[in-house]
Amino acid sequence: MTPNKTDEHRMHQALRLSLRGLGSVAPNPSVGCVITDVTDNVIGTGWTAQGGRPHAETQALAKAAAKTQGGTAYITLEPCAHHGQTPPCSQALIDAKIARVFYAIDDPDPRVAGAGAAALQAANIKVHKGCGAEEAARINIGFLTRIKKGRASLTLKLAMSKNGFMRTPEGQSTWITGGIARRYGHLLRAQHDAIITGSGTLIADNPSLDCRLSGMAHLSPLPVVMTKDPIDLSDTKLSARALHSTASPEVVLKDLAANHNVNAALLECGPTLARSFM
């Protein structure tokens, strides 16, 4: 089974849906799903809900109701095959009598790892893997990194002038980017589970490190302050909600993944801390 232009378009729709869960579903992946009937009309869509449940497939199937027989499902990650808080999505697709499933990338979680696709094929459902794979892997880089490497992924957000400076000649903080870039910076915060900064930024700027886009404050990431030595955060804007660590970058990223349900971390800091992560 080879995807055609329509299949690629439907997968693109599913990928766009998957973006809606970023920042609110960890440690789960953020998945999108589109279901069409036998005439290729979209009858159900879904994405991973806040907290990871319900899954994208569950929501899409619920919207599709009784029209799924002979239809097609486009999913950005291999459907789960294990019994957890809910029954496996692979079985839900089988029960709905879906005829074809296109999924973008394998789920590396050892509880799935090919078992979802195998279950579908055993039920005589046509299965294709790989449509939209590159974009799906980019969207879920945090989940994939946590499962495969045991640490959170890291995105470095850095603003500098044309001549490579991050502050004024006097060492003062100043706006370098414009309004569009600053709004995108807040979107990045919303899409990440944690945000890391250092003592230099904390002392110079006393940042809030929250998301200030309208209606998205609840997606503000977990602040993490990294310093060489213990410091008092009580007089900062982060005192009530920040983690403080004197550990190495590698240890911090592993701790965030293992103990704080973090898939993806955003690094907003000065050049010294940024270099330590490279």
* Residues identified as active-site: 57
36: phi then psi, degrees, rounded to nearest 5: -120, 155
Amino acid found at 236: T
**105 - beta bridge partners?**
77
Q: Check if the beta carbon of residue 193 is closer than 8 Å to that of residue 223.
A: no
At 133, give phi and psi (nearest 5°). -60, -45
- Which tokens belong to 82? 């294990």
Token digits for 10? 């439907």
**Helix, coil or strand: residue 210:** coil
Which helix (H) or strand (E) covers residue 181, if one does?
helix 179-191
Q: Which two tokens stand for residue 57?
A: 């497939």
Q: Backbone phi, then psi, for 54, in 5-degree steps?
A: -75, 165
CA 170 – CA 144 distance, rounded (Å): 42
